[in-house]
Amino acid sequence: MAIRTGQEYIQSLRGRNLKVYLFGELVKEPVDHPMIRPSINAVAETYDLAVREEELAAPMSKISGKRVNRFLHIAESAQDLVLQNKMQRKLGQLTGTCFQRCVGMDALNSLHSVTFEIDEKYHTNYHKNLLDFIRKMQEENLVIGGAMTDVKGDRSKAPSEQIDEDLFLHVVKRTPEGVYVTGAKAHQTGCINSHWIIVMPTIRLLEKDKDWAIVGAIPVDAPGITYIYGRQSCDTRSMEEGDIDSGNSKFAGQEAMIIFDNVFIPNNLIFMNGEYEFAAMLVERFTCYHRRSYVCKTGLGDVLIGAAAAIADYNGIPDVSHIRDKLVEMTHLNESIYAAGISSSYQAQEMKSGVWLNDDMLANVCKHNVTRFPYEISRLAQDIAGGIVVTMPSEKDFRHPVTGPLLKKYLAGRKGVDVENRMRILRLIENMTLGRNAVGYLTESMHGAGSPQAQRIQIARQMQLGYKKKLAKSLANVKEDAEDTPENSDYFKRVFKLR
């Protein structure tokens, strides 16, 4: 029976016998571990939102003919991509953290067009394999994690040139039934909370790297997989009594390293196998989708702006001019991120396979803004909150019969404000800007979907300086090639063509 609610999803994760290591120990049941459970709750919210708001989060799919979770949906129009962004912002608002399903969604959509074009060239069956897999995922309503980032070793060398060839995931054995892969994937968002993982190459590949050109779907509990859980700042606070010090006791993100040791992928779950020249296409299309997906950070930004406004109110200074100006600046930066991302979705184009791909330039502008603006929003939130955001005593001190009354007396804000509520908002600001969920709001904003230089490279490739020079020369009445007009450029035809 298909999973429907968040609670049913949580139940589906039990008893899988995953090999998960945390603090040097094997975790018996990840669902019940207090450090892991908040990240599971965040994924569960993606199910409950689809139940509450079908139009936003549960579209009809042409593949299965059913209403499906949008994280499993192949974009059938530009509007589908716009609704992805609106759903992502809403989930950021609801959880205040990373809800972990965007990578899988963007992997499915990028593979839809790439497998179609590989089949066109080589008469393979990858696209059918993918459609069959998507149909199964939609019918059972499962979570897919995308695994692209290899550990990389010496960054100056190609996969085949590494001293240890396992530093990039690769095929170690081929059989008539499928392939076996070995390697590792780092920084894997929500991998333990997923049902399936799609492995993909992380960089452009050459012919000598054919064994590293592998894409396939693997169950998270497949034999040969080991997970090593990643630390997050202040993460052990979720193991303490009480819920104030964690800042966000219900929701958190998740990152882990995945070690693959001779893990089998059957032929029907392989979507690329040696077609090295398509690796760059896959990476570029995936990052096009995924860099625009970072509008999710505007939902977290909404929460942090709200927290900053709340603490200003609790401190009795909500209408002081410099406080209002900082809140305006935070809002301006947050909406600038959203504007670039959703514009990218609105300017989508249909691919040969039928999937819609958003505008690449605007996607990279969106992500480049994300590498900067959340840091400034966080700085302003800390500015408004004051130094107490990093020096506040613990909840245990607040509950203590001796220190508790002292803290209630000396941590008071304006009249009528409950001191505990003031503490909770301060801890939330700490959580999002310095603590556990700073991973999802700050560091992930910097490095997720590629570091800042990766976006600058793509922006440079698409600056269209030739087209822009033509615009200038035309207005300046510069006489050169009579046919060399802006309207005759490929850029003009692509961007401004009528649909």
What pLDDT digit, counting tens, does each position of 278-287 carry?
A: 999 999 999 9
Among the listed residues 46, 97, 98, 187, the single catalytic one is 98
Residue 155 has pLDDT above 90, yes or no: yes
**pLDDT above 90 (res 495):** no
For every residue of 146-212, DSSP letters joined together read EE--B--SSTTS-GGGSSSGGGS-EEEEEETTEEEEEEEEEEEETSTT-SEEEE---S---GGGGGG
Is there a catalytic annotation at residue 444?
yes
139 is catalytic: no
The answer on pLDDT for 498 being more than 50 is no
Tell me which of 117, 255, 275, 395 is the catalytic residue. Answer: 255
Q: Choosing from 33, 127, 187, 290, which is the catalytic residue?
A: 290
Q: What is the pLDDT of residue 351?
A: 98
Mean pLDDT of all residues belonging to the chain: 96
Residue 159 has a pLDDT of 97
Helix (H) or strand (E) holding 453: helix 452-461
Cα dihedral 49, 52, 57, 62 sign: positive
Statement: 292-460 belongs to CATH 1.20.140.10: yes
What pTM did the predictor assign? 0.94
Marked catalytic residue, from 189, 287, 298, 433: 189
Q: Could you report the per-residue pLDDT of 357-404, keeping only the tens digit for each?
A: 999 999 999 999 999 999 999 999 999 999 999 999 999 999 999 999
For residues 465-493, give the mean pLDDT.
79
CATH of 6-283, one of 2.40.110.10, 3.40.190.10, 1.10.300.10, 3.40.50.300: 2.40.110.10
The proportion of the chain whose per-residue pLDDT surpasses 70, expressed as a percent, equals: 96
Residue 493 pLDDT level (bands cut at 50, 70, 90)? low
Task: Report the pLDDT value the prediction gives residue 23, as an integer from 0 to 100.
Answer: 97
Active site residue 420: no
Least confident of 138-142, 150-154, 260-264, 462-466: 462-466
499: pLDDT strictly greater than 60: no
Q: Do 6-283 and 292-460 share a fold?
A: no
Q: In the predicted model, is pLDDT for residue 487 greater than 70?
A: no
Looking up tokens 């909770």 gives: 424
Residue 482, pLDDT score = 56
pLDDT for 497 equals 56
Angle between helix 419-433 and 373-385 (nearest 10)? 150
Tell me the domain boundaries of the chain: 6-283, 292-460, 464-496
How distant is the alpha carbon of residue 251 from its chain centre?
A: 15
User: Of the listed 46, 102, 117, 288, which one is catalytic?
Assistant: 102
- Judge whether 189 counts as a catalytic residue: yes
Instruction: Mark whether 288 is an active-site residue.
Output: no
In the prediction, which pLDDT does 71 show? 98
Clarify whether 290 is annotated catalytic: yes
